[in-house]
A and B are shown apart, each in its own frame.
Chain A
């Protein structure tokens, strides 16, 4: 009897999952459609150019890697606000090894550097049981000072580096374009660029779709591909393997996990160290793909933004990817064309109206009112101004996080024992 019940539950879970995937796909299509509508209305082509989408992808990856890292740590029950520090360590080690031995060594060193930060956090929080936030704050302080010291020591005068920056990293992680659809090489033969051709046509939606796909498939760094591959991989590892189940059980009910023979301390160590390694990889990405150089303050709070994507991505990889993409896109627009961000207000306004319609159909009037206020504010803002100050764009991710957290807390669920102190053998 019970086996039948179990398989029923499993099929139901699979069906829910499929529904969720379909729904996200539709949301993505709707967002692109809305973007093209706004583009036609405002005439700002940068909104949907392949260049913008490409830049958005590049800006998404580091945030997303930090967010993915946070998943491993928090699913194991350890809050990690030291991600920023671990990312800083990743940038420094990535730049140093990249400069000294070549870019791919930079990737390895960035991962190792971040993992060292994670290891310190794990020793403090798991072995010694100190408060997770305290340890994270201390790691952020330590990383900032430590990397500065290392810079002074490791980058001699005349190398182009100094206390606040590294020498340039020569050579780069290679890029590639898909053949036929994005004009990539095929054994030395330049293939046609289908999406690029579509983009130039200026057809409503079709060209925008072309630009979108071209941006995501043309001139992609291998490191970007690696980062994207980590999203499904993380999902698979954490939700589809026994190891992942054990790790998550440490974040939900460590005492129960212990009683079933799960090595809780070791799993937590794995989680936090992997988390540091991924944040470090994000740091290395910043150095090796975006800048070819390490600068102090280069991470610019991306570790914290990664943490934010974790929270409103509901502690799931797909949510982290979506959140990272949102911020990456806003950032890309800001860098490419300031006015384009202004048009985003229109995008937000129309999008909220769509959600309002849904809320009306569901008769949840409070949601309607809340959405209505925000939508009205967006429209008023859009029609009464011509630009958005740069400073506002810089804190968009943080403001969004606050808004999402205050409006949708009920739908978010963090791991039950996240941030709690756990000591071996205290089960009663």
Chain B
């Protein structure tokens, strides 16, 4: 019974992906392209070392973002503000990283700390507003996102930017010195005898992301705090009766979620961009919501989801060369998110109904036995 349930739950994301492929195929057929060519080309393109590195580099920031969202989900809170939190944190982290001079690991550590503090401070506002003023966190985090976008571009343009060299019009922070950068995993490739492709950097922050995933698992499923968190999510009333202070939980959860959110784009910042510019990656926070839904807040599930996303983003690049609009991938991603949520819901209902039926059958048998018993005794 239990194994069947697990299998049924795994069925949901698979169904969603298949459904998305179907929708994409229909869309492609409607515009006179061959869907099979598209998918085959995508798979072929993704099966290179260069693509593997690119997929990993795209996947891990999304993974961290998904964890940040999932922490909120676990106690029934929606942190839609990851987008604003990570952009704000990245900007200030980039500025601090470029302004201080410290020896290697310490430099990076300080930057991480800044990102964590900024991220959780920004999400903390939503937590405090919820418990003191009763403002729903969905609304407050949406609003805080827009405020963060404005503040980020204002701070960057007026205070934190590097003085432009003549002829250079790009608004950006100063470059982060070598001591503040995060090492890449390219030496690892060399160690196992693979030549890193030219121009590819396998960003080392992936390791931190995996550690964060493990940390998330331990925190939520193996500590008292995590237990209280999940209890508040499943049944706030019961958790409260058991002595969990709901207000403190809301604030703590938001702070924690924001702390993870602050780290979302630190990997690309310290391992690739080396500065904050106006073309710094966007949307990671929103996509994180989708991946948290896809992976059902599970550390492994979300990782697979993030890799799937990275794969789709990377392999989409080959499509234009085959005269297939690469935007088809965005449709697939949207459909997957919507379909997976519906699929989980359908599975849950199915399981519930089965349980009810099983319980009813059990009671019926019991009743029959009882009747038989009564008949015998009388």
- Please report A residues at the B interface, Cβ cutoff 8 Å: 79, 81, 120, 124, 128-131, 133-135, 137-146, 148-149, 151-153, 163, 301, 304, 307-308, 311, 389, 391-392, 394-395, 397-399, 401-402, 405-407, 409
Contact = CB atoms under 8 A, between A and B. Distances in A.
B346 A128 contact: yes
A233 B320 CA distance: 48
13 contacts: A137-B286, A138-B293, A138-B337, A140-B286, A141-B330, A143-B334, A146-B330, A148-B327, A149-B27, A153-B325, A398-B144, A405-B135, A409-B134
B350 interface: no
A413 B293 CA distance: 30
B24 to A, nearest CB: 9
A89 to B, nearest CB: 12
Contact of B338 (A120, A149, A307): A120
B334 A308 contact: no
B154 interface: yes
Contact of A142 (B134, B140, B325, B335): B335
B42 to A, nearest CB: 15
A404 B333 CA distance: 36
Contacts of B144: 398, 402
Contacts of A163: 325, 327
A395 B341 contact: no
Nearest to B326: A152
A395 B327 contact: no
A397 B144 CA distance: 11
Interface stretch (B112-120, B145-153, B223-231, B239-247): B145-153
A152 B325 contact: yes
Contact of A141 (B133, B142, B287): B287
Contacts of B341: 124, 130-131, 134-135, 138
Nearest to B140: A402
A341 B143 CA distance: 21
B289 interface: yes
A405 to B, nearest CB: 5
Contact of B154 (A144, A146, A392): A392
A308 B333 contact: no
Given A133-B78, A398-B147, A406-B133, A138 B330 contact: no
Contacts of A81: 80, 138, 142
Contacts of A133: 78, 80, 138
A394 B150 CA distance: 7
Interface in B117-163: 129, 132-135, 138-140, 142-144, 146-147, 149-151, 153-154, 157-158
A364 to B, nearest CB: 17
Given A137-B286, A389-B158, A149 B345 contact: no
A193 B331 CA distance: 52
Nearest to A394: B150
A382 to B, nearest CB: 18
Given A134-B289, A152-B327, A395-B146, 12 more contacts: A81-B142, A124-B338, A142-B337, A149-B328, A149-B331, A163-B325, A308-B143, A311-B139, A394-B146, A395-B150, A397-B146, A402-B140
Nearest to B290: A141
B31 interface: yes
Contacts of B362: none
Q: Most chain-A CB neighbours within 10 Å: which of B138, B158, B327?
A: B327
Nearest to B346: A128
Q: Most chain-B CB neighbours within 10 Å: which of A140, A142, A401?
A: A142
A398 B158 contact: no
A264 to B, nearest CB: 18
B342 interface: yes
A204 to B, nearest CB: 35
Secondary structure call for the B interface: helix
A153 B31 contact: yes
A141 B139 contact: no
B129 A406 contact: yes
Given A142-B335, A142-B338, A163-B327, A134 B293 contact: yes
A144 B134 contact: no
Contacts of A401: 139, 143
A376 B8 CA distance: 61
Contacts of A142: 331, 334-335, 337-338
A218 B27 CA distance: 45
A140 B149 CA distance: 18
Contact of A405 (B31, B78, B133, B287): B133
Nearest to A397: B146
B157 to A, nearest CB: 8
Given A301-B146, A391-B150, A402-B129, A139 B338 contact: yes
Contact of B80 (A135, A137, A407): A137
A141 B150 contact: no
Q: Most chain-B CB neighbours within 10 Å: which of A137, A146, A301, A409?
A: A137
A311 B134 CA distance: 13
A182 B25 CA distance: 55
Instruction: Give the 8 A-B residue pairs with the shortest CB-CB distance, closest first.
Output: A145-B330, A142-B334, A149-B327, A391-B154, A152-B325, A395-B150, A398-B143, A391-B150
Q: Most chain-B CB neighbours within 10 Å: which of A124, A133, A149, A407?
A: A149
B16 to A, nearest CB: 11
A359 B223 CA distance: 50
Nearest to B158: A389
A86 to B, nearest CB: 13
Contacts of A402: 129, 135, 140, 143-144, 147
Contacts of A395: 146-147, 149-151
B147 A149 contact: no
A410 to B, nearest CB: 9
Given A145-B331, A149-B331, A391-B153, A138 B338 contact: yes
Contact of A135 (B143, B329, B335, B338): B338
A139 B287 CA distance: 12
Interface in B291-349: 293, 325, 327-331, 333-335, 337-338, 341-342, 345-346
Nearest to B27: A149
Contacts of B287: 141
Q: Most chain-B CB neighbours within 10 Å: which of A79, A140, A397, A398?
A: A398
Contacts of B334: 138-139, 141-146
Contacts of B329: 145
Contacts of A151: 327
A303 to B, nearest CB: 10
Contacts of A145: 327, 329-331, 333-334
A275 B133 CA distance: 29
B290 to A, nearest CB: 6
A152 B28 CA distance: 12
B27 A409 contact: no
Q: Most chain-A CB neighbours within 10 Å: which of B134, B153, B286, B334?
A: B334
Nearest to A123: B342
A394 B335 CA distance: 31
Nearest to B152: A391
Given A391-B154, A401-B143, A146 B331 contact: yes
A153 B30 CA distance: 10
A54 B146 CA distance: 26
